[in-house]
Chains A and B, each alone.
Chain A
Amino acid sequence: MQVWQPAYIGVGSNLSEPRVQVRTACARLADLPLTEVVLTSPLYASRAYGPVAQPDFVNAVVGVLTRLEPSALLAELIAIETALGRPAERQRWGPRIIDLDLLVYGRERRSDARLTLPHPGIVERSFVLYPLADIAPDLDVPGLGRVAELAGRLASDGLQRL
């Protein structure tokens, strides 16, 4: 029996009414098989960064319990991105209609071609850590530490709660 595991998913968008995109993606997460959404953070607005000028991002983090394996959950996230219109070929820093990142999956630590857990970007991104700290401040991110402390070390960087 595959046991239920807690997992956290970062949701972001900066195209086509980002708030609507984020809310739509959250609704799709609620429909995933063998998965229950248990917590959804408030939405946050953040400035886009990187070499390409682009609109601001809207981000949120969703906490789920899932019986899907990490790779199966990742495949479901990619399927939602595709369904919401994200092209298969992505510009690394470019604008995106929807972005779903598997941030943490149980106590899982792994790094392979498809998936790194916990997500390597967590510690430096306030738009991930702040909403994550809203829903799971006591979460101990494997190898990194407690979310409230990680978030406390990170400047808000212009992040605004909507």
Chain B
Amino acid sequence: MAKETTHQFIAVEGPIGVGKTSLARRLCGSLGAQPVLEQSGQNPFLERFYRNPRAGALPTQLYFLLQRAQQLTALKQADLFAPVRVADYLLEKDRLFARVTLDDAEYALYEQLYARLDVQTPKPDLVVYLQAPVDVLLERIARRGVDYEQLIDRGYLERLNEAYARFFHEFDAAPLLIVNAGAIDPIANQGDYDELLAAIKRMSRGRLYYNPLRSRAI
């Protein structure tokens, strides 16, 4: 029998379209975990941002920061019988996006607010970082078909991918499983999912690249 999982809080991260939310939901089903999901669809500024990134960036970032801070603070204060949880984001992503989307003056303002909020977030005991090339992200964004997301351009995704790679290169706050999500489809393919789940359950410390080398029929 597989070794019992000891993870209490898993965070799934990665760029837009890589499959964070779908994986987080499925992990919740497998582990009986409570999901902590971003509600980006509720951000009234997001569509405006995709239509006009320069004008829409600041309100979009401020909304996300306050929304995420509120959600994670509530989590930190939540019940004594804390269930296992799986999140589809880390608070740190908020700053990562801010650095990409805001100009210097806006970012300075954002930083002041960020520091003032001093958000206390629960610390994940495993982070699963899903990586995929921009072509794969564009294809998945097209497939899920959210109207305003079709406005996302390749250059923006490239900058996000770089920002994520830099961020996780230096990340040492939790054990880190880096998944080549371009090579697998853990949502549509049961075998891919089972293997990834097993890797997640084995993962207890350090960092590991999960890159199943398998010939696959496309």
Q: Which residues of A contact B (CB under 8 A)?
A: 3-6, 8, 36, 38-39, 63-65, 104, 106-107, 135-141, 146, 148, 152
Pairwise interchain contact B32-A6, C-beta atoms closer than 8 A: yes
Q: Which residues of B contact A (CB under 8 A)?
A: 1-2, 4-5, 25-26, 28-35, 37, 81, 83-84, 201
Interface residue SS majority, chain A: strand
Nearest CB on A from B115, distance (A): 26
Query: Could you write out 20 A-B pairs with CB less than 8 Å apart?
Result: A6-B32, A6-B34, A8-B32, A38-B26, A39-B30, A63-B30, A65-B28, A106-B34, A106-B83, A135-B29, A136-B30, A136-B31, A136-B32, A138-B4, A138-B30, A138-B201, A139-B30, A139-B31, A146-B4, A148-B2
Nearest CB on B from A3, distance (A): 7
Nearest CB on A from B96, distance (A): 25
Pairwise interchain contact A137-B37, C-beta atoms closer than 8 A: no
With known contacts A4-B35, A6-B34, A106-B34, A138–B25 Cβ distance under 8 A = no
With known contacts A65-B25, A106-B83, A6–B33 Cβ distance under 8 A = yes
Complexed CA–CA distance, A102 and B126 (Å): 30
- A residues in contact with B28, CB < 8 Å: 4, 6, 38, 65
Complexed CA–CA distance, A64 and B1 (Å): 25
Complexed CA–CA distance, A150 and B2 (Å): 14
Which B-chain residue is minimally distant from A141 (CB atoms)?
Answer: B32
Complexed CA–CA distance, A104 and B25 (Å): 17
